[in-house]
Amino acid sequence: MQNRPILLNSCARAATAAEARFRIDAPITPSRGARVVALDRRAESIVRRVAEQRWSSARFFVCESPGSSNGDMADVALLSTDGSASRLSTELIGADVAVMVATADDGAEAACAIGDACTLRGIMTAGVVISDGFGAEATVSALRPHARVLMVTRDEHDVAEVLSALRA
Q: What are the residues binding other proteins (CB under 8 A)? A: 1, 4-5, 11-13, 15-17, 19-20, 23, 28, 97, 99, 124-126, 137, 140-141, 144-145, 147-155, 157-158, 161-162, 164-167
Which are the contacts of 5, defined by CB distance < 8 A and separation ≥ 6? 11
Smallest gap, in angstroms, from Cβ of residue 33 to other proteins? 13
Smallest gap, in angstroms, from Cβ of residue 36 to other proteins? 12
Residue 79: φ, ψ to 5°: -120, 120
Sign (positive or negative) of CA dihedral 48, 49, 55, 58 = negative
Measured from the CB atom, the residue of 87 and 157 that comes closer to other proteins is 157
Smallest gap, in angstroms, from Cβ of residue 54 to other proteins? 13
Query: How many angstroms separate the CA atoms of 100 and 35, rounded?
Result: 8
Measured from the CB atom, the residue of 87 and 144 that comes closer to other proteins is 144
- Residue 84's alpha-carbon distances to 60, 61, 64, in angstroms, are 11, 9, 11
Measured from the CB atom, the residue of 87 and 148 that comes closer to other proteins is 148
Smallest gap, in angstroms, from Cβ of residue 7 to other proteins? 12
Measured from the CB atom, the residue of 32 and 41 that comes closer to other proteins is 32
Smallest gap, in angstroms, from Cβ of residue 13 to other proteins? 5
Could you tell me which of 124, 132, 126 has the C-alpha nearest to residue 156? 132
Measured from the CB atom, the residue of 20 and 93 that comes closer to other proteins is 20
DSSP line for 118-147: HHHHT-EEEEEEE-SSSSHHHHHHHHGGG-
